[in-house]
Chains A and B, each alone.
Chain A
Amino acid sequence: MGFDDWILALHVLSAFALVSALILLWFVYLALRANGGTSAALGQLYKIGVIVVQIGVAGTLVSGVWLAISLDAYRPWDGWVMIGFALLAIGTAAGFRAGHVSQQAGGSRHTLVLHAVASLAAVLILVDMIWKPGA
């Protein structure tokens, strides 16, 4: 396996970490809502989820930029790569806003909407990565 193959593996593993954390946070937010918005146990899980999201976003972004530069077939300014960056930015912003709102009293509905936006961005990134529009 060449170095780029390892970076691709890191890219895919980071994506799995990111989606795993998104799914975990879904259960945390839904349990928080069912529990009335407070729980020390869920607060601890929330922190774990946020850390893994950060690792996943950093991993996919850094390895993605590396691959776009290193592989001859792609360029960082290709349309589908730029769309991927934009969707990652939108998803990250919505996800962190959801985390912020979840800490406020009575914000569970708003949290779920924002987290749904972040999750939708993840699905659209997958679509973008498979079909590579404009490539």
Chain B
Amino acid sequence: MSVEWLLFFHLVGAFLYVSGAVAAAVLRLAAMRRERPSEVALLLRAVRPVVPVVALGLLLVLVFGFWLADRLGIDLGSTWLVATFALLGWTVVVGAVAGRQDRHTRELAERLAAGDDRPSEELARRLRDPVNLALNGSLLLSTIAIVALMVWRPT
């Protein structure tokens, strides 16, 4: 496979991964600003199809990234690459934890929406849970940092 094809699939993966992560964060933040359970459920349901997009992006980024690094003779121990691997690992672990919490919040919103669909204090508390917000915020910041590392490649 030529370097152009490797770069193409690596960049497609990067665009899918970053775009999916940003879309999930925006949908999650938008859900926090709504009060009606049906609207919260609608926004959190929209996050679900984002997960396979992010996963596919991550797979393409890693497979074609390693392949490209090997082809171009890039040192995998470079500071910017090690930092990128650490951030990618962080996003995977934190994404799994925060995603699980968000799934429970969505299920609560769906139950409430199926009932009288009135604002609920428990739902609002879960949506504004500081730990969950910190985890989701760190995901977004890590993704932005990964893009910055790829663009600037600090030594």
A residues with a Cβ closer than 8 A to B are: 1, 8-9, 12-13, 15-16, 19-20, 22-24, 27-28, 30-31, 35, 39-42, 44-45, 48, 123, 126-127, 130-131
Contact = CB atoms under 8 A, between A and B. Distances in A.
A22 B46 contact: no
A2 to B, nearest CB: 12
B19 A41 contact: no
B135 interface: no
Contacts of A19: 15, 18-19
For chain A, what secondary structure do more than half of its interface residues adopt (helix, strand, loop), or is it mixed?
Answer: helix
B12 interface: yes
B147 interface: yes
B117 interface: no
A22 B26 contact: no
Contact of B8 (A20, A45, A127): A127
B23 A20 contact: yes
Interface in B11-46: 11-12, 15-16, 18-20, 22-23, 26-27, 30-31, 33-34, 39, 42-43, 45-46
B139 to A, nearest CB: 14
Contact of A41 (B8, B18, B20, B42): B42
Interface residues of B, number: 29
Contacts of B43: 31, 41-42, 45
Nearest to B48: A27
Given A39-B42, A130-B8, A27 B27 contact: yes
Interface in B98-152: 147, 151-152
Contacts of B33: 44
A8 B43 CA distance: 35
A45 B26 contact: yes
A15 B18 CA distance: 11
A1 B26 CA distance: 32
Contacts of A12: 147, 151
A24 B22 contact: yes
8 contacts: A13-B151, A16-B19, A20-B19, A23-B22, A41-B30, A41-B34, A42-B42, A130-B4
A126 B30 contact: no
A21 B49 CA distance: 16
